[in-house]
Structure 1
Amino acid sequence: MKYTTEIIINAPRAEVIEKMDSVENLKHWQHGLLEAKPLSGEVGKEGSTMRLKYKFGKRDMEMIETVLKNNLPEEFHATYDTKGVHNIQKNFFEELPKGKTKWISHSEFQFSSLALKVMGFLMPGAFKKQSKKYMEDFKNFVEQGKSVAEQ
C-alpha cells in the first residue's frame, strides 16, 4: 500500500528541520510515544537504528526505525519495522515563499501476514488518516508550541 500526504507549515524550513531533527521533540508531536531509545550508530545518521515504544489505549506497539537517508534540510528517509509491518517513509521539505515549508511524505506499507494484507486493503484510509494526524500535530507543535504530550 502506497500513498502521499503533505502539509504546509507556517514556519521557515530551518525552524521546521530544527524541531523535526530532535529526538527530544518526538513526544510533542507523536501521540502515544513512550520511549525513543537509540540502538546503534549516531542518532539520525544513515544506518542508525532507534527503538520507538508507543501506547495506543490498551495496545502497546514497538518499532525499530532505521535511517536510510539523511539529507536534511531537503529530505529524510527511514524504515519502521514492527510485527508483520515494514513501513518505508520518504520525507521531503520544500521552502516556500513567505517563510513557509511544505512537508511531503511518501509512505509505503508492506505486510507479511494475510490478515494484515487484508486490513491494509480494506482500511487504507486509516493508515493515511494516522499519517496526516502526525503531520497536523507536528504543524501545531511548530506553529503554536502545542504538545500532544500534555494531553
Structure 2
Amino acid sequence: MTYTTKIDIELPREKVVNLLEDTTNFKHWQRGLQSLRPISGLSGEEGAQVELEYLMGKRQLVMIETIIKKNFPEQYHLTYDAKGVHNIQKNYFEELGEAKCRWTSETEFQFSGLPMKLMGWLMPGMFKKQSLTYMKDFKAFAEKGTSVTTS
C-alpha cells in the first residue's frame, strides 16, 4: 500500500528540517509517544536506529526507526519496522519562498502476517489519516509551538 501526503508550513525550509530531525521535539507532534531509545549508529545520521514506543488507545506499539537517507534540507528517508509491518517513508522539503516550505511524504507499507495484511486491505484510509495527523501536529508545533502533550 502506497500513498502521498503533503502539507505547507509557514516557516523557512531550514527551520522546518531542523525541528523535524530533533528527536527531543518528537513528543510535541507524535501523539502517543511514550519513549525513544537510541539503538545503534550516530544519532541523526544515515544508518542510525532508535526504538520508539507508542501507546495508541490501550495498545502498545514498539517500532524501530532507521535513517536510510539524509540529504538535508531536500530529503529525509526513513524506515519503520514493527510486528507485521515494514514502512518506508520518503520525505521531501520544497522551498515555497523565504518563509514557506512544502513537506511531501511518500509512504509505503509492506505487511506480513494475516492480521496486518487484512488491516491494510480493509482500512487503508486509516494509515493515511494517521500520517496526515502527524503532519498537521508537526505544523502546529513548528508554526505556533502547540504541543500534543499539552493539548
If the length of structure 1 is used for normalisation, what is the TM-score? 0.97
Who is 2:45 aligned against? Answer: 45
Could you say which residue in structure 1 is the equivalent of 2:61?
A: 61
Which one-letter code corresponds to 2:115 in the other structure? Answer: A
Q: Deviations over 1:39-62 (max 9, x none)?
A: 101111111110000011211110
Could you tell me which residue of structure 2 aligns to residue 9 of structure 1? 9
Name the count of aligned residue pairs.
Answer: 151
Amino acid at match of 1:69: K
Structure 2 CA distance for aligned equivalents of residues 76 and 15 of structure 1: 14
Secondary structure of 2:149's counterpart equals helix
Q: Secondary structure at the match of 1:148?
A: coil
* Deviation at residue 98 of structure 1 after TM alignment: 4.8
Task: Kindly report which structure 2 residues correspond to 1:118-137, keeping only aligned pairs within 5 A, or say none.
Answer: 118-137=118-137
Alignment of 1:24-35 (within 5 A): 24-35=24-35
C-alpha root-mean-square deviation of aligned residues, in Å? 0.8
Counterpart of 2:110? 110
Task: Give the secondary-structure state (helix, strand or coil) at the position aligned to 1:99.
Answer: coil
Deviations 1:2-38 (A, max 9, x none): 0000000011111111111101000000000011111
**2: CA distance between counterparts of 1:71 and 1:9?**
19
Residues of 2 paired with 1:49 and 1:105: CA distance? 20
Work out the CA distance in 2 between the residues paired with 1:60 and 1:92: 29
| Seq. identity, % | 55
Gaps of 5+ in 1: none
Listed as ranges, the gaps of 5+ residues in structure 2 are none
Structure 1 residue 116, shift from structure 2 partner: 1.3
Separation in 1, partners of 2:43, 2:59: 27
Superposition deviation, residue 115 in structure 1: 2.1
Measure the CA separation in 1 of the matches of 2:20 and 2:61: 22
Superposed CA deviations along residues 81-126 of structure 1, whole A, max 9, x for unmatched, are 0000000000000010251000000000000012211211111100
